[in-house]
Amino acid sequence: MICEKCQKRPATVHVTRIINGKKTETNLCDICAHEENAGFGEPKWMLHSIFADLFNQPVPGSHALPEKREETVRCEHCGFTDAQFAQVGKLGCPKCYEVFENKLEPVLRRIHGNPGHTGKIPKRTGGTIGLRKEIEELKLELKAAVGREEYERAAEIRDKIRGLEKKLG
């Protein structure tokens, strides 16, 4: 098979793109694929550039960009600064996660809704972990129902919690 772009070299890269439900397939040689960023080098958009853009966006509920502090935070381990992080959207080393924790939290909240990873548990292997998680969620729901003075709903939730706690032992 010959490269569909240059019509000279053998095609070694098969690219499938689906845009707005329309599927296109292209067969390219290594050189043309590299020029098109089809699987080689850095794609035209990268997750870290999106992350950098999020870092520089206004905080939800606010209309201003985050305050620019004159004091630069720098990682002692690799020398990476908060300004570099805001520009490239990547951190310099594992220690940077601790150093830039305060700057990462709002961005993670914007992306995930929560800065902590809770993960998912497969139903067939979850067992007591799944029950504990459900109880924890119900307790939060119970607290919210009481806060809204929905006492009948709160009683239903309380009963569900008791039933799950009995299953738990």
pLDDT tens digits, 91-147: 888 898 888 888 788 777 777 777 776 666 666 666 677 788 889 999 999 999 999
CATH label, 1-44, candidates 1.10.12, 3.30.1710, 3.30.60, 1.10.1510: 3.30.60
pTM reported for the whole predicted model: 0.38
The domains of the chain are located at: 1-44, 47-112, 123-168
Rounded distance, CA 77 to CA 104, Å?
18
Distance CA 27, CA 39 (A): 12
CA dihedral 94→95→100→104, nearest 10 degrees, is 30
pLDDT for residue 38 is more than 70 = no
Token output for 2: 């010959």
Report the amino acid identity of residue 70: E
Tens-digit pLDDT profile for residues 55-79 = 665 545 545 445 554 567 889 989 8
Rg for the chain (alpha carbons), in Å? 25
